[in-house]
Structure 1
């Protein structure tokens, strides 16, 4: 299936993408660990079925030194031994924050307490913002059928934010 709209060639879409990328850079520069950012982005993208974002965040995580074992186990993080308690709390928040319509309570008090235990206010602000941003990015890509498989980590470096 072809993409319905090429978000990288449409002038208006590029204006939006530049602002989106700028906010993404602010989150990337937060004190939330880079590995946690990529794991959270990958998990939300898996839930949302976003091939483009799964491709992107898998490759970005690999480029940052993440192991293939951990990347392969993100979808089954509860059934694995390779994630820290802090990462598990972040992944739980990512899942609950992504599946808002599936749960009448949204993010549970238990999950919030777990992330509070492991992350300070600045890290939490980065984590909450990241969950919101990756879900928005997933929706953009899924709606227009932006397919995964062609992302190159050099693409982000080449993105002109001016």
Structure 2
């Protein structure tokens, strides 16, 4: 498989500014960076975005995440490796990524669980980060941006 076009953000430089603002705001509200990394990885797995799965796992690992937890993100419900707050964030990420899968895309119980672990500003950051991840995933999947072939 080959990319259809180069990275669209590189072709439209003003878009990079907007993405950088979304990234900065999402990461400045107090949600642990490790939680944001896990959320990014899970949404990217669901969406089949090879570039984001690869980049997200590498970024998480570089920032101290363990292989054990990274390998288990896709099955987070069936493993003991995640905190209750991380589980709530992962459930929110899955629901917000799979909007068309149920009549109530983000059920009250998923939102309430997230709200037990995160304050309003942190919830806003999580929602914004999930949406930004889905933006990355959709751009990359549509244009067939691939995970790097030379890992060096």
Pairwise TM-score range, normalised by the shorter structure: over 0.9
- Bigger shift: residues 17-26 or 137-146: 17-26
Deviation at 1:21, TM superposition (A): 2.2
CA apart distance, 1:151: 8.9
Give the 3 Å change call, closer, same or farther, for CA 102–9 of structure 1 in structure 2.
closer
Structure 2 CA distance, aligned partners of 1:144 and 1:126?
Answer: 27
SS of 2:30's partner is: coil
By how many angstroms is 1:30 displaced?
2.1
Q: Are positions 1:48 and 2:32 aligned together?
A: no
Deviation at residue 11 of structure 1 after TM alignment = 3.1
Instruction: Tell me, in whole angstroms, the C-alpha distance in 1 between the residues paired with 2:150 and 2:57.
Output: 10
TM-score relative to the length of structure 1: 0.88
Partner of 2:6: 6
CA distance in 2, matches of 1:114, 1:89: 6
Runs of at least 4 residues of structure 1 off by over 4 A?
none
Match of 2:100? 101
Tell me how many residue pairs correspond in the alignment: 151
For residue 37 of structure 2, what is the aligned residue in structure 1?
A: 38
Following superposition, the deviation at residue 17 of structure 1 comes to 2.6
Gap regions ≥5 residues in structure 2: none
What corresponds to 1:160 in structure 2?
A: none
1:151, 1:35 → 2: CA distance?
Answer: 26
Partner of 2:15: 16
Structure 1 residues not aligned, in runs of 5+:
153-162
Query: Are 1:88 and 2:84 matched, yes or no?
Result: no
Aligned to 1:79: 78
Cα separation, 2, equivalents of 1:31 and 1:54: 23
1:148 alignment counterpart: 147
Task: Give me the whole-angstrom Cα distance separating, in 2, the residues matched to 1:128 and 1:21.
Answer: 16
